[in-house]
Amino acid sequence: MQQNFSTSLVDFIMRNATKNYLHLHSSDLTMLPKAQEAESKNYLLYMHIPFCATLCTYCSFNRFLFNANKARAYFENLRKEMQMVKNLGYDFNAVYVGGGTTSIMPDELCRTLDLAKSLFNIKEVSCESDPNHLQKDILESFKGRIDRLSVGVQSFDDGILKKIGRYEKFGSGEEVYAKLANAIGILPILNVDLIFNFPNQTQAMLAKDLELLKSLKPNQITTYPLMSSPSVKSILKRSIGEVSLKNEAQLYTQILETLNEDFIQLSSWAFSHKGSEIFDEYVVDNDEYIGIGTGSFSFLNGTLYANTFSLKEYAQRIQNGQMSVARERKYSRKAQLQYRLMVELFGGIASAKRFKEQYGATLEKDLFKEIAFLRLSGNIYKKGADYYPTPQGKYLFLSMMKEFYIGMDRVREESRAMLKEEDM
Protein backbone atom coordinates (compact mmCIF):
# COMPACT_ATOMS: atom_id res chain seq x y z
CA MET A 1 0.00 0.00 0.00
CA GLN A 2 1.35 3.43 -0.79
CA GLN A 3 0.38 7.05 -1.12
CA ASN A 4 -0.88 6.57 -4.70
CA PHE A 5 -2.68 8.73 -7.22
CA SER A 6 -6.18 8.19 -5.80
CA THR A 7 -5.14 8.94 -2.18
CA SER A 8 -3.23 12.06 -3.27
CA LEU A 9 -6.18 13.21 -5.37
CA VAL A 10 -8.66 12.55 -2.57
CA ASP A 11 -6.37 14.30 -0.05
CA PHE A 12 -6.35 17.32 -2.34
CA ILE A 13 -10.14 17.22 -2.83
CA MET A 14 -10.73 16.75 0.91
CA ARG A 15 -8.42 19.64 1.84
CA ASN A 16 -10.34 21.97 -0.45
CA ALA A 17 -13.74 20.53 0.47
CA THR A 18 -13.10 20.95 4.20
CA LYS A 19 -11.87 24.52 3.61
CA ASN A 20 -15.15 25.24 1.85
CA TYR A 21 -17.58 23.14 3.90
CA LEU A 22 -16.12 24.01 7.29
CA HIS A 23 -16.43 27.72 6.66
CA LEU A 24 -19.08 28.62 9.25
CA HIS A 25 -20.87 31.95 9.53
CA SER A 26 -21.74 33.70 12.77
CA SER A 27 -24.97 32.73 14.47
CA ASP A 28 -27.36 34.73 16.61
CA LEU A 29 -29.04 31.64 18.09
CA THR A 30 -29.47 31.70 21.85
CA MET A 31 -30.73 28.09 22.00
CA LEU A 32 -30.25 25.02 19.82
CA PRO A 33 -33.43 23.86 18.01
CA LYS A 34 -35.84 21.61 19.92
CA ALA A 35 -35.53 17.82 19.57
CA GLN A 36 -37.35 16.17 16.70
CA GLU A 37 -39.96 13.60 17.62
CA ALA A 38 -38.76 10.68 15.42
CA GLU A 39 -38.27 7.57 17.56
CA SER A 40 -35.31 6.28 15.56
CA LYS A 41 -33.18 9.37 16.37
CA ASN A 42 -29.96 8.34 18.03
CA TYR A 43 -28.25 11.37 19.55
CA LEU A 44 -24.85 11.47 21.21
CA LEU A 45 -24.03 13.98 23.95
CA TYR A 46 -20.49 15.38 23.72
CA MET A 47 -19.03 17.29 26.68
CA HIS A 48 -15.81 19.23 26.47
CA ILE A 49 -13.42 19.81 29.39
CA PRO A 50 -10.87 22.33 28.09
CA PHE A 51 -8.25 22.38 30.88
CA CYS A 52 -4.74 20.89 30.99
CA ALA A 53 -1.96 21.21 33.58
CA THR A 54 0.50 22.10 30.80
CA LEU A 55 -0.04 22.40 27.05
CA CYS A 56 1.54 19.84 24.67
CA THR A 57 3.18 21.26 21.56
CA TYR A 58 1.56 19.03 18.91
CA CYS A 59 -1.99 19.36 20.26
CA SER A 60 -4.45 21.55 18.42
CA PHE A 61 -7.46 20.69 20.56
CA ASN A 62 -9.39 23.29 22.48
CA ARG A 63 -7.53 23.63 25.77
CA PHE A 64 -6.53 26.26 28.33
CA LEU A 65 -4.09 26.23 31.21
CA PHE A 66 -5.72 24.73 34.32
CA ASN A 67 -7.01 27.07 37.00
CA ALA A 68 -9.03 25.41 39.81
CA ASN A 69 -11.53 28.26 40.29
CA LYS A 70 -12.19 28.65 36.59
CA ALA A 71 -12.52 24.90 36.12
CA ARG A 72 -14.99 24.48 39.01
CA ALA A 73 -17.16 27.31 37.66
CA TYR A 74 -16.94 25.73 34.20
CA PHE A 75 -18.23 22.35 35.41
CA GLU A 76 -21.09 24.15 37.16
CA ASN A 77 -22.02 25.85 33.87
CA LEU A 78 -21.71 22.58 31.97
CA ARG A 79 -24.36 21.08 34.24
CA LYS A 80 -26.61 24.11 33.65
CA GLU A 81 -26.20 23.72 29.89
CA MET A 82 -27.06 20.03 30.17
CA GLN A 83 -30.32 20.97 31.88
CA MET A 84 -31.09 23.36 28.97
CA VAL A 85 -30.57 20.48 26.53
CA LYS A 86 -32.97 18.36 28.58
CA ASN A 87 -35.57 21.17 28.46
CA LEU A 88 -35.31 21.14 24.64
CA GLY A 89 -36.61 17.55 24.71
CA TYR A 90 -33.41 15.63 23.85
CA ASP A 91 -32.50 12.20 25.14
CA PHE A 92 -29.16 10.41 24.68
CA ASN A 93 -28.00 6.84 24.92
CA ALA A 94 -24.31 7.70 24.79
CA VAL A 95 -22.01 10.34 26.26
CA TYR A 96 -18.50 11.17 25.09
CA VAL A 97 -16.32 13.34 27.33
CA GLY A 98 -13.39 14.90 25.47
CA GLY A 99 -10.57 17.24 26.38
CA GLY A 100 -8.33 18.79 27.39
CA THR A 101 -7.79 16.71 30.45
CA THR A 102 -11.25 15.45 31.36
CA SER A 103 -10.22 13.97 34.72
CA ILE A 104 -8.40 17.10 35.91
CA MET A 105 -11.10 17.40 38.63
CA PRO A 106 -12.41 13.86 39.10
CA ASP A 107 -15.05 14.87 41.69
CA GLU A 108 -16.56 17.48 39.34
CA LEU A 109 -16.48 15.02 36.44
CA CYS A 110 -18.32 12.41 38.54
CA ARG A 111 -21.00 14.92 39.61
CA THR A 112 -21.49 15.94 35.97
CA LEU A 113 -21.79 12.34 34.78
CA ASP A 114 -24.22 11.54 37.58
CA LEU A 115 -26.43 14.43 36.49
CA ALA A 116 -26.27 13.23 32.85
CA LYS A 117 -27.36 9.75 33.96
CA SER A 118 -30.23 11.14 36.01
CA LEU A 119 -31.51 13.30 33.12
CA PHE A 120 -31.06 10.91 30.16
CA ASN A 121 -31.27 7.19 29.31
CA ILE A 122 -27.53 6.79 29.04
CA LYS A 123 -26.14 3.32 28.35
CA GLU A 124 -22.53 4.12 27.44
CA VAL A 125 -20.03 6.67 28.72
CA SER A 126 -16.70 7.13 27.01
CA CYS A 127 -14.08 9.46 28.42
CA GLU A 128 -10.61 10.61 27.35
CA SER A 129 -7.81 10.62 29.88
CA ASP A 130 -4.03 10.73 30.18
CA PRO A 131 -1.40 8.60 31.98
CA ASN A 132 -1.32 10.90 35.04
CA HIS A 133 -4.94 10.22 35.95
CA LEU A 134 -4.81 6.44 36.20
CA GLN A 135 -4.37 6.25 39.97
CA LYS A 136 -6.42 3.52 41.68
CA ASP A 137 -8.60 5.95 43.69
CA ILE A 138 -9.54 7.96 40.57
CA LEU A 139 -10.35 4.81 38.58
CA GLU A 140 -12.35 3.40 41.51
CA SER A 141 -14.45 6.60 41.55
CA PHE A 142 -15.12 6.11 37.80
CA LYS A 143 -16.47 2.56 38.33
CA GLY A 144 -20.14 2.36 37.30
CA ARG A 145 -19.83 5.85 35.77
CA ILE A 146 -17.41 5.39 32.86
CA ASP A 147 -17.55 2.37 30.54
CA ARG A 148 -14.66 3.24 28.27
CA LEU A 149 -11.58 5.20 29.26
CA SER A 150 -9.35 6.31 26.42
CA VAL A 151 -5.78 7.08 27.45
CA GLY A 152 -3.39 9.12 25.34
CA VAL A 153 0.03 7.42 25.17
CA GLN A 154 1.15 8.45 21.64
CA SER A 155 4.43 6.49 21.85
CA PHE A 156 6.59 4.59 24.35
CA ASP A 157 9.75 5.90 22.69
CA ASP A 158 11.55 8.24 25.11
CA GLY A 159 13.13 10.23 22.28
CA ILE A 160 9.71 10.99 20.78
CA LEU A 161 8.13 11.65 24.18
CA LYS A 162 10.84 14.20 24.98
CA LYS A 163 10.44 15.98 21.67
CA ILE A 164 6.66 16.31 21.99
CA GLY A 165 6.89 17.47 25.60
CA ARG A 166 5.29 14.42 27.21
CA TYR A 167 8.32 12.88 28.91
CA GLU A 168 8.47 15.39 31.76
CA LYS A 169 4.72 15.59 32.00
CA PHE A 170 3.72 11.91 31.97
CA GLY A 171 7.00 10.03 32.52
CA SER A 172 9.19 7.76 30.41
CA GLY A 173 7.76 5.10 28.11
CA GLU A 174 8.52 2.50 30.79
CA GLU A 175 6.71 4.49 33.48
CA VAL A 176 3.67 5.06 31.25
CA TYR A 177 3.62 1.32 30.49
CA ALA A 178 3.56 0.52 34.23
CA LYS A 179 0.72 3.01 34.85
CA LEU A 180 -1.33 1.40 32.08
CA ALA A 181 -0.62 -2.13 33.27
CA ASN A 182 -2.04 -1.21 36.71
CA ALA A 183 -5.12 0.40 35.15
CA ILE A 184 -6.21 -2.44 32.87
CA GLY A 185 -9.21 -4.42 34.14
CA ILE A 186 -10.60 -1.79 36.52
CA LEU A 187 -13.08 -0.28 34.06
CA PRO A 188 -14.91 -2.33 31.38
CA ILE A 189 -12.87 -0.94 28.46
CA LEU A 190 -9.48 0.70 28.35
CA ASN A 191 -8.44 2.20 25.02
CA VAL A 192 -4.90 3.35 24.30
CA ASP A 193 -4.20 6.12 21.74
CA LEU A 194 -1.05 5.85 19.70
CA ILE A 195 0.21 8.35 17.11
CA PHE A 196 2.25 7.16 14.13
CA ASN A 197 4.29 8.84 11.39
CA PHE A 198 6.28 11.13 13.66
CA PRO A 199 9.15 12.69 11.68
CA ASN A 200 12.11 10.27 11.68
CA GLN A 201 10.00 7.46 13.16
CA THR A 202 11.32 4.24 11.64
CA GLN A 203 9.46 0.97 11.12
CA ALA A 204 11.58 -0.52 13.92
CA MET A 205 10.45 2.23 16.33
CA LEU A 206 6.80 1.68 15.45
CA ALA A 207 7.26 -2.10 15.74
CA LYS A 208 8.49 -1.59 19.32
CA ASP A 209 5.48 0.60 20.21
CA LEU A 210 3.09 -1.99 18.76
CA GLU A 211 4.80 -4.94 20.47
CA LEU A 212 4.64 -3.16 23.84
CA LEU A 213 0.97 -2.42 23.28
CA LYS A 214 0.24 -6.00 22.28
CA SER A 215 1.92 -7.26 25.44
CA LEU A 216 -0.24 -4.89 27.51
CA LYS A 217 -3.44 -6.25 25.92
CA PRO A 218 -5.67 -3.16 26.26
CA ASN A 219 -9.27 -3.73 25.16
CA GLN A 220 -8.89 -1.20 22.37
CA ILE A 221 -6.18 0.61 20.46
CA THR A 222 -6.61 3.75 18.36
CA THR A 223 -3.77 4.65 15.99
CA TYR A 224 -3.89 8.24 14.71
CA PRO A 225 -1.63 9.44 11.91
CA LEU A 226 0.19 12.56 13.12
CA MET A 227 -1.97 15.50 12.07
CA SER A 228 -0.07 18.61 11.28
CA SER A 229 -2.81 21.20 11.30
CA PRO A 230 -1.87 24.82 10.54
CA SER A 231 -1.89 25.79 14.22
CA VAL A 232 0.79 23.26 15.23
CA LYS A 233 2.77 22.93 11.98
CA SER A 234 5.59 25.35 12.84
CA ILE A 235 5.84 24.23 16.50
CA LEU A 236 6.06 20.61 15.32
CA LYS A 237 8.72 21.52 12.79
CA ARG A 238 10.84 23.14 15.50
CA SER A 239 10.37 20.41 18.11
CA ILE A 240 10.36 17.16 16.16
CA GLY A 241 10.80 17.98 12.48
CA GLU A 242 8.71 18.46 9.35
CA VAL A 243 5.79 16.07 8.95
CA SER A 244 5.99 14.13 5.69
CA LEU A 245 3.49 11.75 4.11
CA LYS A 246 6.23 9.68 2.47
CA ASN A 247 6.14 6.81 4.99
CA GLU A 248 2.61 7.18 6.29
CA ALA A 249 1.00 4.47 4.13
CA GLN A 250 3.84 2.02 4.82
CA LEU A 251 3.59 2.55 8.59
CA TYR A 252 -0.17 2.15 8.38
CA THR A 253 0.24 -1.19 6.57
CA GLN A 254 2.61 -2.26 9.33
CA ILE A 255 -0.08 -1.43 11.93
CA LEU A 256 -2.73 -3.46 10.07
CA GLU A 257 -0.40 -6.43 9.72
CA THR A 258 0.81 -6.34 13.34
CA LEU A 259 -2.62 -6.00 14.94
CA ASN A 260 -4.42 -8.33 12.56
CA GLU A 261 -3.91 -11.48 14.64
CA ASP A 262 -5.09 -10.26 18.05
CA PHE A 263 -7.46 -7.42 17.17
CA ILE A 264 -10.68 -6.86 15.22
CA GLN A 265 -10.75 -3.66 13.21
CA LEU A 266 -13.57 -1.26 14.22
CA SER A 267 -12.68 1.57 11.86
CA SER A 268 -9.71 2.65 9.79
CA TRP A 269 -7.92 3.65 13.02
CA ALA A 270 -9.61 1.77 15.88
CA PHE A 271 -9.03 -1.87 16.89
CA SER A 272 -10.73 -4.03 19.52
CA HIS A 273 -8.92 -6.90 21.21
CA LYS A 274 -10.45 -10.24 20.22
CA GLY A 275 -12.63 -11.40 23.10
CA SER A 276 -13.23 -7.85 24.41
CA GLU A 277 -16.68 -6.37 24.32
CA ILE A 278 -17.12 -4.29 21.14
CA PHE A 279 -17.69 -0.63 21.90
CA ASP A 280 -19.29 1.44 19.14
CA GLU A 281 -17.13 3.91 17.24
CA TYR A 282 -18.85 7.11 18.30
CA VAL A 283 -17.81 9.02 15.13
CA VAL A 284 -19.41 6.36 12.96
CA ASP A 285 -22.53 5.37 14.83
CA ASN A 286 -23.97 8.73 15.79
CA ASP A 287 -24.92 10.90 12.87
CA GLU A 288 -26.50 13.57 15.08
CA TYR A 289 -24.95 14.93 18.25
CA ILE A 290 -25.07 17.82 20.68
CA GLY A 291 -21.86 19.29 22.05
CA ILE A 292 -21.88 21.23 25.30
CA GLY A 293 -19.02 23.31 26.67
CA THR A 294 -16.64 25.74 24.98
CA GLY A 295 -15.64 25.03 21.40
CA SER A 296 -17.90 21.97 21.08
CA PHE A 297 -19.72 21.17 17.86
CA SER A 298 -23.32 20.00 17.41
CA PHE A 299 -24.76 18.48 14.24
CA LEU A 300 -28.55 18.51 14.00
CA ASN A 301 -30.83 18.08 11.02
CA GLY A 302 -28.16 18.98 8.45
CA THR A 303 -26.73 21.97 10.33
CA LEU A 304 -23.34 22.17 12.07
CA TYR A 305 -23.16 24.49 15.08
CA ALA A 306 -19.93 25.59 16.83
CA ASN A 307 -19.92 26.94 20.38
CA THR A 308 -17.88 29.93 21.46
CA PHE A 309 -14.25 29.20 22.34
CA SER A 310 -14.10 31.98 24.90
CA LEU A 311 -14.31 30.77 28.52
CA LYS A 312 -15.56 34.20 29.54
CA GLU A 313 -18.31 34.43 26.91
CA TYR A 314 -19.32 30.83 27.63
CA ALA A 315 -19.80 31.60 31.34
CA GLN A 316 -21.75 34.81 30.58
CA ARG A 317 -24.08 33.09 28.12
CA ILE A 318 -24.88 30.21 30.45
CA GLN A 319 -25.43 32.58 33.40
CA ASN A 320 -27.94 34.45 31.20
CA GLY A 321 -29.83 31.22 30.50
CA GLN A 322 -28.53 30.98 26.92
CA MET A 323 -26.62 28.26 25.09
CA SER A 324 -23.26 29.19 23.60
CA VAL A 325 -23.63 28.65 19.82
CA ALA A 326 -21.44 31.20 18.02
CA ARG A 327 -21.32 29.94 14.41
CA GLU A 328 -23.33 27.64 12.15
CA ARG A 329 -23.64 26.21 8.64
CA LYS A 330 -26.47 24.33 6.90
CA TYR A 331 -25.51 21.58 4.42
CA SER A 332 -27.26 20.32 1.30
CA ARG A 333 -28.62 16.77 1.27
CA LYS A 334 -25.92 15.80 -1.24
CA ALA A 335 -23.12 17.11 1.00
CA GLN A 336 -24.58 15.24 3.97
CA LEU A 337 -24.76 11.98 1.99
CA GLN A 338 -21.15 12.38 0.80
CA TYR A 339 -20.01 12.95 4.37
CA ARG A 340 -21.95 9.91 5.60
CA LEU A 341 -20.46 7.75 2.83
CA MET A 342 -16.95 8.72 3.93
CA VAL A 343 -17.73 8.11 7.62
CA GLU A 344 -19.43 4.74 7.07
CA LEU A 345 -16.61 3.44 4.86
CA PHE A 346 -14.12 4.70 7.46
CA GLY A 347 -16.14 2.53 9.87
CA GLY A 348 -15.74 -0.51 7.57
CA ILE A 349 -19.07 -0.74 5.70
CA ALA A 350 -21.48 1.40 3.68
CA SER A 351 -24.71 -0.47 4.26
CA ALA A 352 -27.43 -0.11 1.62
CA LYS A 353 -30.08 -0.83 4.27
CA ARG A 354 -28.76 1.86 6.64
CA PHE A 355 -28.61 4.47 3.84
CA LYS A 356 -32.21 3.62 2.90
CA GLU A 357 -33.55 3.63 6.46
CA GLN A 358 -31.62 6.58 7.88
CA TYR A 359 -31.37 8.88 4.89
CA GLY A 360 -33.96 7.55 2.37
CA ALA A 361 -31.07 7.22 -0.12
CA THR A 362 -29.95 4.59 -2.64
CA LEU A 363 -26.18 4.33 -2.78
CA GLU A 364 -25.87 3.68 -6.54
CA LYS A 365 -28.40 6.36 -7.46
CA ASP A 366 -27.76 9.17 -4.99
CA LEU A 367 -23.99 8.72 -4.84
CA PHE A 368 -23.41 7.29 -8.29
CA LYS A 369 -20.22 9.25 -9.13
CA GLU A 370 -18.62 8.74 -5.72
CA ILE A 371 -19.26 4.98 -5.70
CA ALA A 372 -18.04 4.60 -9.31
CA PHE A 373 -14.81 6.52 -8.57
CA LEU A 374 -14.09 4.59 -5.38
CA ARG A 375 -14.77 1.24 -7.10
CA LEU A 376 -12.76 1.96 -10.23
CA SER A 377 -9.79 3.20 -8.21
CA GLY A 378 -9.78 -0.03 -6.18
CA ASN A 379 -10.74 1.53 -2.86
CA ILE A 380 -14.05 -0.27 -2.28
CA TYR A 381 -15.67 -3.53 -3.30
CA LYS A 382 -19.27 -4.72 -3.29
CA LYS A 383 -20.56 -7.75 -1.39
CA GLY A 384 -24.33 -8.32 -1.47
CA ALA A 385 -25.89 -4.86 -1.45
CA ASP A 386 -23.14 -3.28 0.68
CA TYR A 387 -19.72 -1.72 0.05
CA TYR A 388 -16.51 -2.40 1.99
CA PRO A 389 -13.08 -0.74 1.89
CA THR A 390 -10.18 -2.70 0.39
CA PRO A 391 -6.86 -2.48 2.35
CA GLN A 392 -5.95 0.49 0.12
CA GLY A 393 -9.41 1.97 0.83
CA LYS A 394 -8.86 1.68 4.59
CA TYR A 395 -5.85 3.95 4.17
CA LEU A 396 -7.81 6.28 1.91
CA PHE A 397 -10.60 6.69 4.49
CA LEU A 398 -8.04 7.17 7.26
CA SER A 399 -6.51 10.00 5.16
CA MET A 400 -9.93 11.49 4.50
CA MET A 401 -10.82 11.45 8.18
CA LYS A 402 -7.45 12.98 9.00
CA GLU A 403 -8.16 15.82 6.55
CA PHE A 404 -11.58 16.27 8.13
CA TYR A 405 -10.02 16.55 11.61
CA ILE A 406 -7.44 19.03 10.28
CA GLY A 407 -10.35 21.01 8.81
CA MET A 408 -12.05 21.04 12.23
CA ASP A 409 -8.76 22.22 13.75
CA ARG A 410 -8.78 25.07 11.27
CA VAL A 411 -12.23 26.12 12.56
CA ARG A 412 -10.88 25.98 16.12
CA GLU A 413 -7.83 27.98 15.14
CA GLU A 414 -9.88 30.71 13.44
CA SER A 415 -12.02 31.01 16.56
CA ARG A 416 -9.09 30.91 18.97
CA ALA A 417 -7.25 33.61 17.02
CA MET A 418 -10.08 35.99 17.96
CA LEU A 419 -9.66 35.35 21.70
CA LYS A 420 -8.21 38.04 23.93
CA GLU A 421 -6.36 37.55 27.22
CA GLU A 422 -9.58 37.94 29.26
CA ASP A 423 -11.38 35.20 27.26
CA MET A 424 -9.01 32.46 28.46
Tell me the window of 4-12, 93-101, 187-195, 214-222 that interacts with ligand SF4 (CB under 6 A): 93-101
Instruction: State how far the Cα of 306 lies from the Cα of 325, in Å rounded to an integer.
Output: 6
Asked whether position 374 contacts ligand SAM by CB under 6 A, the answer is no
Helix, strand, coil share of the chain (percent; to 5): 45, 20, 35
Q: Write phi, then psi, for 124 (nearest 5 degrees).
A: -135, 135
Asked whether position 224 contacts ligand SAM by CB under 6 A, the answer is yes
Instruction: State how far the Cα of 183 lies from the Cα of 186, in Å rounded to an integer.
Output: 6
Angle between helix 248-259 and helix 391-417 axes, rounded to 10 deg: 120
Neighbours of 119 (CB within 10 A): 18
Instruction: State how far the Cα of 249 lies from the Cα of 178, in Å rounded to an integer.
Output: 30
Tell me the window of 32-40, 59-67, 79-87, 113-121 that interacts with ligand SAM (CB under 6 A): 59-67
Q: Tell me if residue 343 falls in helix, strand or coil.
A: helix
Which of residues 61 and 74 has its CB atom nearest to ligand SAM in the complex? 61
Asked whether position 59 contacts ligand SAM by CB under 6 A, the answer is yes
Tell me the window of 72-80, 96-104, 199-207, 216-224 that interacts with ligand SF4 (CB under 6 A): 96-104
Name the nearest CA neighbour of 344 among 317, 329, 328, 363. 363
Asked whether position 99 contacts ligand SAM by CB under 6 A, the answer is yes
Which of the listed partners (ligand SF4, ligand SAM, none) does 410 bind, with a CB threshold of 5 to 8 Å by partner kind? none
Least distance from C-beta 183 to ligand SAM, angstroms?
A: 13
Residue number of the CB closest to ligand SAM reads 152
DSSP 236-292: HHHHT----STTHHHHHHHHHHHHTTTEEESSSSEEEETTSPP---HHHH-SEEEEE
Asked whether position 149 contacts ligand SF4 by CB under 6 A, the answer is no
Which of the listed partners (ligand SAM, ligand SF4, none) does 227 bind, with a CB threshold of 5 to 8 Å by partner kind? ligand SAM
Tell me the window of 225-233, 251-259, 276-284, 297-305 that interacts with ligand SAM (CB under 6 A): 225-233
Instruction: State how far the Cα of 172 lies from the Cα of 166, in Å rounded to an integer.
Output: 8
Which of residues 61 and 269 has its CB atom nearest to ligand SF4 in the complex? 61
Contact with ligand SAM (CB under 6 A) among 85, 138, 227, 367: 227
Contact with ligand SAM (CB under 6 A) among 21, 46, 61, 395: 61
Asked whether position 56 contacts ligand SF4 by CB under 6 A, the answer is yes
Which of the listed partners (ligand SAM, ligand SF4, none) does 193 bind, with a CB threshold of 5 to 8 Å by partner kind? ligand SAM
**First vs last C-alpha separation in the chain:** 44
Write each residue from 179 to 218 as x if it is in contact with ligand SAM (CB under 6 A), else as -, in one continuous string.
--------------x-x-----------------------
Pair 66, 121: CB distance under 8 Å: no
Contact with ligand SF4 (CB under 6 A) among 7, 18, 77, 101: 101
Q: 273 pairs with which residues across the strands?
A: 263
Contact with ligand SF4 (CB under 6 A) among 106, 131, 152, 293: 152
371-379 contacts, C-beta under 8 A, 24 or more apart:
371/341, 374/345, 377/5, 377/6, 378/6, 379/6
Q: Which amino acid is at 41?
A: K
Of all helices (H) and strands (E), which one includes residue 375? Answer: helix 368-376
Contact with ligand SAM (CB under 6 A) among 7, 18, 101, 220: 101
Asked whether position 226 contacts ligand SAM by CB under 6 A, the answer is yes
Asked whether position 61 contacts ligand SF4 by CB under 6 A, the answer is yes
Q: Which residues bind ligand SF4 (CB under 6 A)?
A: 52, 55-56, 59, 61, 63, 99-101, 130, 152
